Amino acid sequence: MVSDEPLLGRYEAGRPEKATSAAGDGDASFVQTCLNGLNALSGVGLLSVPYALSEGGWLSLALLAAVSGVCWYTGILLQRCMSVDPTVRTFADIGERAFGRRGRVLVAGFFHAELYLIAIGFLILDGDNLDKLFPGARVSLLGGHVTLAGKQLFVVLVALAVAPTTWLRSLGVLAYVSATGVFASVLIVLSVLWAAAVDGVGFSAPGATALRPGKLPTALGLFTFCFCGHAVFPTLYTSMKEKRRFPKMLAICFVLCTLNYGSMAVLGYLMYGAGVQSQVTLNLPAGRVSSTIAIVTTIVSPLSKYALVVTPIATAIEERILRRGGAAGSGAVAISVAVRTLLVLSTVAVALAVPFFGYLMALVGSLLSVGACVMLPCVCYLRVFRPPARAAETVAIAAILVLSSVLLVTGTYSSLVQIVHELTA
């Protein structure tokens, strides 16, 4: 999945930012790095994998494993690019090493767009799940002339709750809220299993099919979204005491996350079949303890990560404004608060206009995650190592680029068609 912890790897379009702190220079053990990697790969994509499996059919489960393997391999390519130059510390640095300043701008642009859409997805996700917890909620404003109800009401309320957290400029303070990511992902899977085995949902859903070729682009886009944590991989590498063990660490993270995602996909599809919703928590029976635990865990996770996602975008905008205007002190603080507040408001507007979590995440996975986390590592690797030492590897990378290009085009088209269809229905 696109990582929910992108701030661990800093990337900005304006200028290279070489880390000078010792915090990321070989002070993390193998186990600690594994935990950080698991947290980076565990995110809200977990809720959509049953829907992805229902779109693609049972045989598409093999594609989940294939996407995991490809994303692991492209993570290794990033590590190899970093190993040739100790000053390269972030994904944007790799882009600059390969293609100069334009490469840095391209990488930053891809990730900022991805993060913006993920932030919108957080609002939609929490709006949907809060609406399930509190159905029929309604608020009248301006003497009854304006009414907010259901998902729209909760999207606005969630935005009001997270807006103050975006004003915090200390990344160290924000980083503490991400520590529960791995536990939350496992807890959601266990809650869904409890609902099936104990709360009477069962595993006898009708409508399960082997393969739906026409829906495979959507399924692949959602699968890719689950495994794209590449923004954090350079920082994981620089933080390790034993950097030679990075491939093993990354393999462990991908295997465990694939098992977790696969378990959720199978559970949700067995329980609800073709009727599974874009977020499996929306299918869970109301009023049950297992459902409440799953939904509350789902709600809390995006609340804690929204600020982490939008801060890199806000920082890039602020630096451009401050360089032009020269504001300092209280003026700079006021600009920062204004930029971050407007950024939150813009995500609210899009979330209210396009409230389709599954289609939006499929679009992010197909367009931005495939581009940034599959294609860009391959292209940068081919540029840095011209050509790679092994011809077989060149062929493999070329195959990945061709297939990912097809997925980018077909998946993006499919997601946009579905979004437009929902908007005009």
Local structure of 139: helix, strand or coil: strand
- Hey, how many other C-beta atoms are within 10 angstroms of the C-beta on 38? 21
Residue 71: closest CA among 262, 204, 200, 220: 220
> Which token pair is 35?
């935990």
Measured CA to CA, the distance from residue 101 to residue 37 in angstroms comes to 28
Local structure of 230: helix, strand or coil: coil
> Is 309 exposed, middle or buried, given 0-12, 13-18 or 19+ CB atoms closer than 10 A?
buried
Measured CA to CA, the distance from residue 52 to residue 221 in angstroms comes to 9
Residue 177: closest CA among 4, 1, 2: 4
The phi and psi torsions of 335 (rounded to 5 degrees) equal -65, -40
> Is 261 exposed, middle or buried, given 0-12, 13-18 or 19+ CB atoms closer than 10 A?
buried
Measured CA to CA, the distance from residue 120 to residue 360 in angstroms comes to 9
Q: 3-state SS of 83-104? A: HCCCCCCCHHHHHHHHHCHHHH
Those residues with Cβ within 8 angstroms of residue 208's Cβ, 6 or more apart along the chain or in another chain: 54, 57, 58, 269, 270, 273, 274
CA angle 225, 364, 299 (to 5 degrees): 70
Local structure of 240: helix, strand or coil: strand
Residue 127: closest CA among 360, 406, 285: 360
Hey, CA dihedral for 200, 45, 425, 153, is it positive or negative?
Answer: positive
Instruction: For helices 246-272 and 30-41, give the axis angle rounded to 10 degrees.
Output: 40
Q: Domains of the chain by range and CATH?
A: 32-424 (1.20.1740.10)
Contact by Cβ (8 Å): 165, 119 = no
Measured CA to CA, the distance from residue 270 to residue 93 in angstroms comes to 44
The predicted structure's pLDDT at residue 252:
94
Contact by Cβ (8 Å): 235, 8 = yes
DSSP 287: T
Helix (H) or strand (E) holding 363: helix 357-363
The predicted structure's pLDDT at residue 176:
47
Burial call 84-109: b when 16+ CB within 10 Å, e when fewer: eeeebbbbbbbbbbbbeeebbbbbbb
Local structure of 149: helix, strand or coil: strand
Residue that is written with structure tokens 């010792």 in the block: 22
Query: 148: which strand partners?
Result: 139
CA angle 259, 293, 254 (to 5 degrees): 20
The predicted structure's pLDDT at residue 347:
92
Contact by Cβ (8 Å): 177, 161 = no
Residue that is written with structure tokens 């990337």 in the block: 11
The predicted structure's pLDDT at residue 69:
95
> Which token pair is 374?
């599959």
Question: Over the chain (425 residues), what is each successive 10-residue block's mean pLDDT?
Answer: 41 39 59 78 84 91 94 93 83 87 87 83 86 84 75 90 78 47 80 85 72 87 86 80 90 94 92 86 83 83 75 80 67 84 92 77 78 90 80 90 90 82 76
Residue 39: closest CA among 178, 172, 186, 246: 178
The predicted structure's pLDDT at residue 421:
80
